[in-house]
């Protein structure tokens, strides 16, 4: 195969930082810091605030707002009243804030989709959004974005990100669907008789505040231990589903989806974005990703139409218990479809009437060639062509090498594999073998532009490069097998 590697490299930039709440130790240590700051003279407090704001305003868009938020978080934890002085509140907020370098370890595992705004793009060109897995201190992963264009000659340009990086707080008034919530409770085996009174209080659409109220209202006189365990499970499930709304003046490259719920406290891994076309012609961007809390993984689904407002929900069902799920870009027949690796080794096709619940699966492909004898999986959502669905894959071979391959699935029945590449599509070259995880090339989703596939790919879990592949040539190889 003639694979063209483009002279592009997206590398990690440790200067891209976000501000996070920093609460050292327990409440006694927080209170001790507050008392020490209270003992400072007003003049020294004002001088320190001026110096801090001047120092950090080049690194954060709204450093005063960050200090205010961190101060509010600390005071809320203690249940104390507010400081009368604005400067003293800002200084305390600075003590309760720290910076986190999003990309200090790596910037990798990209996916690429058509940008929702194509205004002003030259004829024959295409604007895209690329998602990337940023990895920082403690190996905590988050999702970042880049934009760029592919021109008529398939040259790719990636726009430089701004200096700033921003997170968004989950919306407090996000609405939950009671029916879906109950189904997940049952799957968690948390739908006990104690849950019935709580659920009876809730409307068909409810908020976190509604759930907390129902839990408090239905608290029994006895069996408090079991009730607390149930309440913790119900709140954990609700907090695993949240909504993010970024400021409209934040550039797309500034928006960072950083772990906010307990189940993703150790990272958000390998988002596979796809532009999904509904039967009515409406387009929605979905992404599956893996939430990791240090002990277990949990499949999640992101939904957005504009890359500003995001809904995050758990994926449910017996068939979403592993990593690496990729949604088809439209329904096949009357069902949603996903490629997945249920057992960590083979590729399965999942089908469902409900995009949030997956309980039907069929094994469609297992390790076949020496370069994929350890395991196979998808490298993003399938791409529709007249010849069938092109599914980019990864295979793991000797010395735990990750190489890219491809399958061709029947257009009407994707469980039928029409063809597969007997040789890898992309392997690490001499310049791509070294990194955080050596000997790996990996992608979370390619983009079709004209007659070429634009394939962004991770290089040894360190940085990101881009390659292009002729679709006619790839289809010729796939249909020849």
Which residue, 196, 220, 239, sits at the end of a domain? 239
Residues 339 and 379 both lie in one domain: yes
Write out the H or E segment, with its range, that includes residue 35.
helix 27-38
Q: Do 275 and 250 share a structural domain?
A: yes
Are the beta carbons of 377 and 394 closer than 8 angstroms? yes
Q: pLDDT tens for residues 280-293?
A: 999 999 999 988 88
pLDDT at position 172, please? Answer: 67
Read off the DSSP letter of residue 7: S
Question: Would the pLDDT of 297 be above 80?
Answer: no
The reply to whether 228 and 247 lie within a common domain is no
| Same domain flag for 299 and 403 | yes
- Distances 87 to 32, 41, 70, 449 between C-alpha atoms, Å: 18, 11, 14, 54
Which residue would you say has higher pLDDT here, 438 or 77? 438
pLDDT at position 481, please? 64
pLDDT for position 400:
96
209 and 315 co-located in one domain: no
H or E element that contains 471: helix 471-480
Torsion, Cα of 300, 303, 304, 307 (10° steps): 10
Instruction: Give the separation between CA 123 and CA 291, rounded to whole angstroms.
Output: 39
Q: 310 and 295 in contact (C-beta within 8 Å)?
A: no
Are 110 and 96 within one domain? no
What's the residue count for the chain? 481
**Of 80, 101, 122, which closes a domain?**
101
316, 392: one domain:
yes
CA distance 175 to 145: 26
pTM of the model: 0.91
Q: Are residues 138 and 280 in the same domain?
A: yes
Q: From CA 315, how far away is CA 335, in angstroms rounded? A: 16
Q: Which residue segment(s) compose the domain that 328 sits in? A: 3-11+102-169+242-480
How far apart, in whole angstroms, are the C-alpha atoms of residue 90 and residue 96? 10
Shared domain for 295 and 194, answered yes or no, is no
Say if strands 463-470 and 156-158 run parallel, antiparallel, or are unpaired: unpaired
Tokens of 164: 């700033």
Residue that is last in its domain, among 63, 81, 101: 101
Kindly state the tokens that stand for 319.
């068939």
Would you say 423 and 397 are in contact if contact means Cβ atoms under 8 Å apart? no
Q: In this structure, are 145 and 61 located in the same domain?
A: no
Whether residues 395 and 438 share a domain: the answer is: yes
Query: Looking at residue 22, what is its pLDDT?
Result: 94
Counted domains in the chain: 3
Write the CB contacts of 442 (distance below 8 Å, at least 6 apart in sequence).
Answer: 108, 109, 379, 394, 402, 404, 457, 458, 461
Chain segment 24-74, per-residue pLDDT in tens:
988 999 999 999 999 999 999 999 999 999 999 999 999 999 999 999 999
342 lies in the same domain as 413: yes
Record the tokens describing residue 353, joined without a space. Answer: 């009437």
pLDDT band for position 189 (50/70/90)? confident
Helices (H), 276-343: none
Helix %, strand %, coil % of the chain (to 5): 25, 35, 40
| 314-318, 428-432, 456-460: segment of lowest average pLDDT | 314-318
């Amino acid at each position: 195969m003639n694979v063209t590697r483009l002279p592009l490299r997206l590398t990690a930039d440790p200067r891209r930082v976000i501000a996070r709440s920093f609460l050292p130790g327990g409440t006694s240590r927080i209170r001790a810091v507050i008392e020490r700051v209270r003992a400072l003279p007003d003049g020294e407090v004002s001088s320190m605030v001026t110096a801090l704001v001047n120092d950090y305003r080049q690194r954060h868009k709204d450093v005063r707002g960050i200090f205010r938020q961190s101060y509010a978080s600390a005071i809320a934890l203690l249940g104390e009243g507010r400081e009368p002085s604005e400067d003293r509140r800002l200084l305390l907020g600075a003590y309760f804030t720290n910076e986190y370098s999003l990309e200090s370890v790596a910037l990798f595992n990209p996916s690429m989709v058509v940008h929702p705004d194509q205004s002003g793009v030259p004829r024959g060109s295409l604007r895209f959004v690329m998602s990337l897995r940023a990895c920082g201190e403690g190996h905590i992963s988050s999702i970042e974005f880049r934009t760029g264009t592919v021109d008529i000659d398939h040259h790719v340009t990636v726009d430089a990100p701004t200096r700033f990086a921003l997170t968004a707080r989950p919306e407090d008034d996000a609405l939950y669907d009671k029916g879906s919530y109950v189904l997940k409770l049952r799957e968690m085996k948390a739908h006990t008789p104690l849950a019935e009174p709580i659920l009876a209080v809730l409307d068909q659409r409810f908020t976190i505040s509604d759930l907390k109220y129902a839990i408090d209202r239905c608290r029994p006189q006895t069996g408090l231990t079991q009730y607390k365990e149930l309440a913790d499970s119900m709140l954990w499930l609700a907090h695993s589903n949240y909504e993010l709304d970024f400021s409209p003046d934040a550039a797309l490259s500034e928006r960072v989806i950083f772990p906010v719920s307990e189940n993703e406290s150790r990272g958000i891994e390998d988002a596979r974005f796809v532009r999904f076309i509904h039967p009515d012609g409406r387009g929605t961007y979905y992404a599956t990703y893996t939430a990791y809390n240090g002990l277990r993984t949990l499949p999640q689904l992101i939904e957005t139409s504009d890359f500003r407002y995001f809904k995050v929900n758990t994926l449910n069902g017996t068939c979403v218990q592993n990593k690496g799920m990729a949604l088809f870009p439209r329904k096949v027949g009357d069902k949603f479809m996903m490629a997945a690796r249920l057992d960590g080794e083979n590729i399965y096709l999942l089908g469902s009437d409900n995009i949030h619940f997956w309980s039907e699966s069929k094994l469609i492909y297992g390790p076949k060639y020496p370069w994929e004898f350890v395991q196979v999986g998808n490298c993003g959502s399938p791409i529709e062509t007249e010849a069938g669905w092109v599914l980019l894959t990864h295979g793991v071979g000797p010395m735990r090498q990750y190489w890219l391959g491809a399958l061709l699935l029947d257009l009407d029945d994707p469980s039928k594999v029409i063809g597969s590449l007997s040789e890898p599509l992309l392997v690490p070259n001499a310049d791509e073998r070294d990194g955080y995880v050596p000997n790996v090339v990996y992608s979370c989703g390619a983009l079709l532009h004209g007659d070429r596939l634009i394939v962004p790919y991770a290089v040894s879990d360190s940085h990101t490069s881009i390659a292009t592949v002729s679709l006619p040539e790839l289809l010729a190889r796939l249909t020849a097998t």
